[in-house]
Amino acid sequence: MNSLDLYMLGWSNIFSFWPLLLLFVGVIVGVIFGALPGLGATAGVAIVVPLTYGMDLNASLSLLLGIFCGAIFGGSISATLINIPGVPAAMMTVLEAYPLARAGKAGLVLAVSTISSFLGGIFSAIMLAFFAPLLASWALRFGPQEYFMVALLGISVIVLISGDSMPRALFAGFLGLLLATVGEEALRGFPRYAFGVTDLRVGLHFIPVSLGLYGMAQVFNYLIDEARSGQEPEIIRSLGKITLPFRRVLSLLWVVPRNAVIGTIVGALPGTGATIGAILSYGVEKRISRTPEAFGKGHLEAIVATETSNNATIGGAMIPLLALGIPGDATTAIILGAFILHGVAPGPTLFLQQPDLVSSIFVIILLANVIFLIVGLAGARIFPKLLSIPKNILMTIVALLCMVGAFSVHNNAFDIGTMVVFGVVGYLMRKAHIPIAPLLLTLILGPLLESNIQRAAIIDPTFIGFLTSPISLSILIAIIAMFAVPPIIQRYKSANALPVGEDKETTS
């Protein structure tokens, strides 16, 4: 079967009533789940899986992948409007989207987010359809040393989001690493910092912590400082038209390709997902940018980078799933479960024996992206209006949603308690001007860092592997480059007295 026939077969599989309907429903549900703090792709897919038991494979995949794509995109909505990452993958988007929203550009941000997510998703779907087996076998070459390097690269991004005070950012980073050690130690199961509480043996999960630091902290801030002071509450408004000069659009589009690649690759590595993709993209973008000082205050390029990347990880994550039968993260693990239930075992022979299935998945992802593109663009004007509820009621609603979101992670009220504690921590951190993003960054990457160095140490105590592996070596060079190169460029620039430009968005 040549490619075109295959493609048409995929279309015909999906372009029938049930799959299309379920795809549409899935995307909508996904966007809602992504936007609601604490719920996300994993929760959405997990909750829906029982419903798919009676359906055929194409229909179930339409529903599940629709939710997956919708959710990763949906996270940017709450990140923009209420400064809470709806999905862990939106944690970098929050840094840039909210300041812009406060400046009245919520609609613009949502539109840009939508389009970036769309482009990232389409790119990774194409990679999936045409290069999956290749990418998958390349991804297999990542062993403990390589993963450690990836984690190190991600953590070095902290230096780029340090804001005004490096020691504070570093402290936040260390704090995140500390929190990552809470729980059973990987090698021996020894409970660290668990104080005898069984629920702590599991460790601290990212979602209750991030909901606390971003969500509850804001609620505390409001109730303690704003509620009785009679201050005019800030309203997120969408002012003016959602348009940009053509040149600007081009410069933004230019950001897409490299981040789509980063996202797809990160997605293809089992064990890393959308969040890590977003972190790396943000870091790379800031390092390459000519206006790095504009980052952190509301910079569209950054949003394009992170949103392209985190949606690209979806197609990327499907690569090891389909080509090797290995799920890359919790959400794809559930999707794998759906496959198994229908008697399909994805793996190397899938591409040879059932290419129409791959084609169907390609079409599903394509269409899912188109659907949320429409939803997102239409919503870019409408969503900000949701916030015209008076702030006191809005805050209560947000708090309740955060509570449900925290609960949903493990069906355990303990996580709500965790969230409250981190709400206190987040409030105090803000007061002390300690940035929150580095903490979340190391919380996500910490486990990857420690478990992989442990494995590397067991397998090869001499650690030679770090330098002999080409992948590991290249990432090491990349890390050094991230640090060393820009100061060199700075020196070159100042030697030639070139002015550094300012980003227009934040000043207008």
Partner 1 sequence: MHFSVSKSIARIIAAAGIAGMAIMASGASAQDYPDHEVTMLVGFNAGGATDVIARALADQMEKALGQPVVVVNKSGAGGLLALNEVARAKPDGYTLMLSTATPLTASRSEPEAPTVDDVEVIGIVNLDGSAVLVKADSEFKTLDAFFEAAKDKPNSVVMAHAGVGGSYYLNALVWEATTGAKFKYVPYGGGSEIYPALAGGHVESASAVLSPAKQLIGSGQIRALGVSSAERNPSFPDVPTFKESGIDLVWGAPKFVIAPKDTPEDVIAVLSDALDQAMNSEEMNEFWAKTGYEKFYLKRDEATQYLQNAQKSINEAFANADGK
Partner 2 sequence: MTHDSKMTHDRVIGGLIVIFGLATGLMTIGWPAGYNSDSVILTTYFFPRMIAIGMVLCGAWIALRPEKRAMDLPFSSILKLAALAVFLLAVVHIARRDFFIAGLVFGTVSLWISRVGAIRSILYAFLISAVVFCVFRYAFSLQIPNEFVRLALNI
Question: Which residues sit at the interface with partner 1, rule CB under 8 A?
Answer: 45-46, 49-50, 53, 139-144, 184, 186-189, 191, 198-199, 201-202, 270-271, 320, 324-327, 330, 333-338, 340-343, 345-350, 410-412, 447, 451, 454-455, 458-459
CA distance 429 to 434: 5
Rule CB under 8 A: say whether 244 interacts with partner 2: no
Q: At 450, list the tokens.
A: 């420690």
CA distance 260 to 164: 30
Binding window for partner 2 (CB under 8 A); candidates: 101-109, 177-185, 262-270, 468-476: 177-185
Rule CB under 8 A: say whether 199 interacts with partner 2: no
> Which of 408, 415, 312 lies closest to 73 in space, CA to CA?
312
Q: Return the number of the residue (17 or 195) whose C-beta is nearest partner 1.
A: 195
3-state percent breakdown (helix, strand, coil) of the chain, nearest 5:
75, 0, 25
Q: Return the number of the residue (10 or 270) whose C-beta is nearest partner 1.
A: 270
Q: 437: phi > 0 → left, psi -120 to 50 → alpha, else beta; which?
A: alpha
Q: Find the angle CA(54)-CA(56)-CA(58) to the nearest 5 degrees.
A: 140
Rule CB under 8 A: say whether 222 interacts with partner 2: yes
Binding window for partner 2 (CB under 8 A); candidates: 76-84, 269-277, 323-331, 431-439: 431-439
CA distance 240 to 238: 7
Return the half-sphere exposure (C-beta side, CA atoms, 13 A cut-off) of residue 385.
5
Binding window for partner 2 (CB under 8 A); candidates: 184-192, 280-288, 347-355, 499-507: 184-192
How would you class 59 by CB atoms within 10 Å of its CB: exposed for 0-12, middle for 13-18, buried for 19 or more?
buried
Beta bridge partners of 191: 184
DSSP 164: T
Site for partner 2 in 115-174 (CB under 8 A): 164-165, 167-168, 170-171, 174
> Which of 374, 351, 371 lies closest to 361 in space, CA to CA?
351
Q: Which does 325 bind (CB under 5 to 8 A by kind): partner 2, partner 1, none?
A: partner 1
Q: Return the number of the residue (454 or 506) whose C-beta is nearest partner 2.
A: 454
Q: Which does 171 bind (CB under 5 to 8 A by kind): partner 1, partner 2, none?
A: partner 2
DSSP 105: B
Q: At 297, list the tokens.
A: 């205050």
3-class DSSP assignment, residue 137: helix
Q: Which does 116 bind (CB under 5 to 8 A by kind): partner 1, partner 2, none?
A: none
Q: Which does 101 bind (CB under 5 to 8 A by kind): partner 2, partner 1, none?
A: none
Binding window for partner 2 (CB under 8 A); candidates: 217-225, 257-265, 311-319, 350-358: 217-225
Q: Return the number of the residue (251 or 454) whose C-beta is nearest partner 1.
A: 454
CA distance 213 to 202: 20
Residue type, 301: E
Which of 314, 336, 416, 443 is the binder for partner 2 (CB under 8 A)? 416
CB of 308 to partner 2, least distance (A): 29
In this structure, are residues 316 and 265 in contact, taking their beta carbons and an 8 Å threshold? yes
Size of the site for partner 2 (CB under 8 A): 61
For 183, 191, 201, 261, the CA distances from 196, given in Å and listed in that order, are 10, 8, 8, 44
Site for partner 2 in 451-470 (CB under 8 A): 453-454, 457-458, 461
Count each helix (H run) and each strand (E run) in the chain, helices first.
23, 2
Q: Which does 270 bind (CB under 5 to 8 A by kind): partner 1, partner 2, none?
A: partner 1
Contact residues for partner 2 (CB under 8 A)? 39, 47, 50, 164-165, 167-168, 170-171, 174-175, 177-178, 181, 185, 187-188, 190, 192-193, 216, 219-220, 222-225, 227-228, 391-393, 395-397, 399-401, 403-404, 407-408, 411, 413, 416-417, 420-421, 423-424, 427-428, 431-433, 450, 453-454, 457-458, 461
